[in-house]
Amino acid sequence: MNPTTILLPLDLSDLSLEAIPEAIELAGRFDAVLELLHVVEEDPLLQAYGPVEGFTTDFEGQFEKANRFATTKLTELAESIEADHGLSTRVIVVRGRATSEIVRVAGIAGDKLIVLNTHGRSGFETALIGSVTERIVRFSPCPVWVSRGTALEGVRTVLCAVDFAETSLEIISQALAVAETWGASIRFVYVFEDSWVSSVARTVLFPLKNPDHIDGHSMDEVRALLEAEVAKRVPSLTKDQILIRQGHTVKTICEMSEHEDLVVLGTHRRVGLDRVIHGSVAERVIRAAKCSALIVGRPA
């Protein structure tokens, strides 16, 4: 991973601003341009049907006012970052729906890394309206770094969660690149999922597209498979870098994250019934992990 641009979406709430220290650290570490992005949100009903006849609210005037306010705030922030940290910055203010516009800007030419804070929704609220962070993780065309809202004082330890899906080698490569950038130690983990629902869904309804399917293998056999997978990228691999655990995948990764600076894992961009049955490990991990997370998706 060697991004030339760090894309930092900000809704100007206190929570979104908490991602700034990590974004600054990442931009400096990779000698990348820091893009500050704000989306002036459109009401979905207004977007679909336009202004209602006889309703006199000046929507265009409100949008222009919000645009000027956001541009002023982001410009002040960019100037402060340039003066204090010597970084190159770029201010982008667009109009639309937050998720779709962030994903669109992320897809513009160049190697980008999105940095986000998570709003931490859970339960019914997430089921009803989701989280912008989680939707971006699902659809982003580039890796997403989810901040825990604290200054990033280097990365000393990296935990890479592998699931033998088709993106495994890409996830391993990204994790290794981060570890090399910071000179961090790295370990690789596979979790045997205890849930029978997950097992049935994975093996019967939506099997992983991998010739070395791990279901039916013993833990020792899975360790050997994981060692072989990682060794394709790490010739000097040692035994203690490979971890095999059994339990609930999300809970296990989150518990292990308490002793890590960064967790790296993939997302399968699941939607519809596939996502309902499988759930999304990445989306649930970013809600509960004790450290920052780097999410790597498969190509859209």
In the chain, CATH 3.40.50.620 sits at: 1-149, 154-300
Residue 205 has pLDDT above 50, yes or no: no
**Exposure class string for 119-136: b at 16+ Cβ within 10 A, else e:** bebeeeebeeeebbbbbb
Q: What is the pLDDT of residues 107-143, one digit of tens each?
A: 997 899 999 987 544 444 444 334 778 888 888 999 9
DSSP state of 199: H
Q: Which residue has the higher pLDDT, 13 or 263?
A: 263
Summarize the confidence of residues 153-173 as an average pLDDT. Answer: 86
Q: How many CB atoms lie within 10 A of CB 157?
A: 16
The top-scoring range by mean pLDDT among 116-120, 216-220, 258-262 is 258-262
pTM for the structure as a whole = 0.82
pLDDT of residue 151: 62
- The percent of residues in the chain predicted with pLDDT above 90, rounded, is 43
- Give the containing element (helix H, strand E) for 126: helix 123-129
Crossing angle between the packed helical segments 249-257 and 281-288, to the nearest 10 degrees: 40
CATH, domain 1-149, list 3.40.50.2300, 3.40.50.1470, 3.90.550.10, 3.40.50.620: 3.40.50.620
Break the chain down into helix, strand, coil percent, rounded to 5.
45, 20, 35
Phi first, then psi: give them for residue 161, nearest 5 degrees.
Answer: -90, 125
Tokens of 248: 């609930």
pLDDT of residue 282: 86
∠ at Cα 147 (128, 159), nearest 5°? Answer: 105
Residue 4 has pLDDT above 50, yes or no: yes
Residue 297 has pLDDT above 90, yes or no: no
pLDDT of residue 203: 46
* CB 161 within 8 Å of CB 251: no
Domain 154-300 matching CATH 3.40.50.620: the answer reads yes
